[in-house]
Chains A and B, each alone.
Chain A
Amino acid sequence: MRVEQHPILKFSHGGMIKFYFNGIEMYGFEGDTIATALYANGIKVFGHSAKKKRPRGFFCGIGKCSSCMMRVNGVPNIRTCITPLQEGMIVESDKYDLPETAPYRKPERKTMDVDIAIVGGGPAGMAAAIEAGKHGDVSVLIIDEQPRLGGQLIKQTHKFFGSSMEGAGKRGIEIASEMEEEARKYADILLETSVIGYYNRGHHFLAAVNKLKGIVYEIKAKKIIFATGAQENYLVFENNDLPGVYGAGGIQTIMNVYGVKPGKAGIIVGAGNVGLILAYQLLQAGVKVKAIVEAMPRIGGYFVHAAKVRRHGVPIYTKHSIMEAVGKESVEGAIIAQLDEKWNFVLGTEKKIDCDFIAIAIGLTPSARLAQMAGAKVKFIREAGGWVALHNEFMETTANGIYIAGDAANIEEASAAMVEGKIAAVHALNSISPLTNFEAIVEELRNEISSLRKGKFGEKARLAKERIYEGYYEELRGNRSG
Chain B
Amino acid sequence: MKSEADVVIVGAGINGCALAYELSKRGKDVVVVDRRHIAAGATGRCGAGIRQQWSTKENALLAKKSVEIFEGLEEELGHPIGFRQGGYLIAIHDEEDMKQARKNVEMQKSIGLPVRIIDREEIKEIVPILDPDGMKAIAATFCPTDGHADPFKTANAYALAAIRNGATFYKFTEVRGIKVENREVREVITDKGSIKTKFVVDAAGAWSSRIAEMAGIKIPNKPVRKEALVTEPLPRIFDAMVISFRHGIYFSQMARGEILGGIPSPEEKIGYHFEPTWSFLKKMAYMLGRYAPILKGTNILRQWTGFYDVTPDALPVLGEDKNVRGFIHCHGFSGHGFMIAPMTARLLAQLITGEKLDLPIERLSLERFEKGTVKEKSVVG
Contact = CB atoms under 8 A, between A and B. Distances in A.
Q: Do chains A and B touch in the complex (CB under 8 A)?
A: yes
A207 interface: yes
B203 to A, nearest CB: 24
A301 interface: no
Contacts of A199: 275-278
Contacts of A97: 235
A272 B297 CA distance: 41
Contacts of B298: 102
B140 to A, nearest CB: 22
B211 to A, nearest CB: 18
B86 to A, nearest CB: 18
A77 B234 CA distance: 9
Interface string A72-103: 00011100000000000000000011110111
Interface in B309-327: none
Contact of B278 (A77, A96, A98, A201): A201
A218 B234 CA distance: 28
A5 interface: no
Given A76-B234, A77-B299, A98 B294 contact: yes
A450 interface: no
A77 B276 CA distance: 25
A104 B237 CA distance: 19
A207 B303 CA distance: 13
A375 B275 contact: yes
Interface string A198-221: 011100010100000000001000
B295 interface: yes
B297 A101 contact: no
A255 B298 CA distance: 31
A102 B293 contact: yes
B359 to A, nearest CB: 41
A106 B267 CA distance: 24
Contacts of A200: 275
A219 to B, nearest CB: 11
B281 interface: yes
Nearest to A101: B294
Contacts of B299: 77
A458 interface: no
A197 B296 contact: no
A207 B279 CA distance: 11
Interface range, B side: 10 to 19
Contacts of B367: none
B269 to A, nearest CB: 13
A303 B277 CA distance: 49
Interface in B298-354: 298-299, 303
A207 B278 CA distance: 8
Nearest to B234: A98
Given A77-B232, A96-B235, A104 B275 contact: no
A372 to B, nearest CB: 11
Contacts of A197: 276, 278, 281, 303
Contacts of B278: 197, 199, 201, 205, 207, 218
Contacts of A104: 296-297
A75 B299 CA distance: 11
Contact of A102 (B281, B294, B303): B294
Contacts of B237: 98
A373 B234 CA distance: 26
Nearest to A206: B278
Given A197-B278, A197-B281, A207-B278, A102 B235 contact: no
Nearest to B293: A102
B369 to A, nearest CB: 31
A199 B303 CA distance: 12
Contacts of A98: 129, 234-235, 237, 294
A70 B299 CA distance: 14
Nearest to A107: B297
Contacts of A75: 297
Contacts of B281: 197, 207
Nearest to B278: A199
Contacts of A218: 278
A103 B234 contact: no
Nearest to A197: B278
A284 to B, nearest CB: 37
A99 B237 CA distance: 12
B237 to A, nearest CB: 7
The interface centre, meaning the residue of A97, A98, A99, A207 with most chain B CB atoms within 10 A of its CB, is A98
A102 B296 contact: yes
A75 B294 CA distance: 11
A390 B33 CA distance: 29
A201 B278 CA distance: 9
A200 B278 CA distance: 9
Nearest to B273: A200
Nearest to A102: B296
B197 to A, nearest CB: 27
B206 to A, nearest CB: 18
B376 to A, nearest CB: 32
A205 B276 CA distance: 12
Interface in B224-245: 232-235, 237
A119 to B, nearest CB: 16
A205 B296 CA distance: 24
Contacts of B303: 197
Contacts of B233: 50
Interface in A412-458: none
A376 B278 CA distance: 18
The interface centre, meaning the residue of B237, B275, B277, B295 with most chain A CB atoms within 10 A of its CB, is B275
Contacts of B276: 197, 199, 373
B340 to A, nearest CB: 33
A156 B180 CA distance: 67
A57 to B, nearest CB: 19
- Sorted nearest first, the 6 A-B pairs with minimum C-beta distance are A104-B297, A104-B296, A199-B278, A102-B296, A96-B235, A102-B297
8 contacts: A50-B233, A76-B234, A99-B294, A101-B293, A102-B293, A103-B297, A104-B296, A205-B278
Given A75-B297, A102-B296, A375-B275, 14 more contacts: A50-B233, A76-B234, A77-B299, A96-B235, A98-B129, A99-B294, A101-B293, A102-B293, A102-B294, A104-B296, A197-B281, A199-B276, A200-B275, A207-B278
